[in-house]
Structure 1
């Protein structure tokens, strides 16, 4: 991945919030800041300024303070006396999140292969067909949406409400990172091949294979994420 393929990560770190989200402002501020941290837009041990964040997001400092407190409970930031709020997310933390997500997604795929209905199998197969079309067209935004739809459908088919809730804490991409990844033709082709293999294993009821290919996919895409965000080349 070329370093100059990251223009989206070099400008404003955070975009202003859509006014439609003001009814749940605290949650949206939290998600926006969390995504920015997990996308590497803040360096490890970097001090963040509440007023600057408020100005960037176009909000008061109150939801910023609330969001930072929530992020501190997640371990992503730390508030220190006389030093302010420091970013604690780093490549080591990211590796752990990737491995945790790989474990959860692979088990969900395992159970989906055992529990998927005929209707759900047809839906999953149709999503892969859409992915093939979007891959051929080189449409990153459509692929981002289809990727989420693909994994959501597997979650539905698995009947794993508990595991699906757990996995929300292991989401480490945001749209800008996904767009960089899917802008690479080789990455698009790899992702399509892996998604097709996952779907085929689940639809055929091969739970062990579904578990294995899902884990391999999450780990490999995670390595791509690490290279983009942290320029880290070691394997997980």
Structure 2
């Protein structure tokens, strides 16, 4: 166990990494004894961590069955991406209006890491950089309720989209283009353009993910 982290935080960090790296497959039941051995945590600390992961959308806790990694249906994925499009367009608009020079320096830094990870096909670096990008958007929105919903939706889609990264390079190349348009619109303080770019970015990602799910059926 990492002695620098509180036990619950350590549990969450370890299990989140396992889920996002696809070492736990969607639909897989998570056995408490195995998780305790993996994290070095007590059952009490483990269950506290599992509740946080459930709030993040990364697991579901089923009565009389226990925790599992959700396996989303195509319809669920479509619904999630639709709602993400609406909310992220609003976040992008607010970010474009509220961002200061210091904020934009931070944005350019994280955006560079996102595009580098997409270009290089580094899945876990992309997950980390994208997470930081969304935390940047959420912080500027200064809306705690939106933050709760968006984080849950991001957790739900994080179960699917890491497996699609670089599944088709042209689609990934298009994703870089859409993401760059979004960053440029925010940097230009153009709220309407940023909202539209965010919507296109999410819609394109949703179409790619559902097409990938169809190919895996």
The TM-score normalised by the length of structure 1 is: 0.63
Compute the displacement of 1:98 (Å): 3.4
Partner of 1:181: 165
Unaligned runs of 5+ residues in structure 1 are: 1-17
8 Å contact kept, 2:96–2:190: yes
1:115-154 aligned at under 5 Å gives the runs 115-125=98-108, 127-128=110-111, 138=120, 140=122, 142-154=125-137
Which residue, 208, 216, 219 being the options, matches 2:192?
Answer: 208
Which structure has the bigger radius of gyration? 1
CA distance in 2, matches of 1:201, 1:178: 26
User: What corresponds to 2:45 in structure 1?
Assistant: 63
Pair 28,168 (structure 1): closer, same or farther in 2 beyond 3 Å: farther
Structure 2: runs of 5 or more not aligned: none
Tell me which residue corresponds to 2:66. Answer: 85
Higher relative contact order (CA 8 A, sep 6+): 2
Aligned counterparts of 1:149 and 1:48: Cα–Cα separation in 2: 27
- Report the equivalent of 1:25: 7
Given the alignment, which residue of 182, 191, 210 partners 1:198? Answer: 182
SS of 1:232 mapped into structure 2: helix
Q: Give, in whole Å, the separation in 2 of the partners of 1:100 and 1:169.
A: 11
Does the 8 Å contact 1:131/1:143 carry over to 2?
yes
Does the 8 Å CA contact 1:98/1:222 hold for their aligned counterparts?
yes
Cα shift readout 1:131-151 (whole Å, capped 9, x = no counterpart)? 556655x26255444434443
Instruction: Say if 1:42 and 1:87, in contact at 8 Å, map to a contact too.
Output: no
Matched position secondary structure for 2:24: coil
Aligned length: 208
After superposition, the CA RMSD in angstroms is: 4.0
CA contact (8 A) 1:72 1:78 kept: no
User: Which residues in structure 2 correspond to 1:107-118 (within 5 Å)?
Assistant: 107-118=90-101
Give the 3 Å change call, closer, same or farther, for CA 185–87 of structure 1 in structure 2: same
Question: Structure 1's 98 and 118: CA in aligned 2 closer, same or farther, altered over 3 A?
Answer: same
Match of residue 101 from structure 1: 84
Alignment partner, residue 221 of structure 1: 205
Stretches (4+) displaced over 6 A: 72-75
Change (3 A) 1:78 1:129: closer
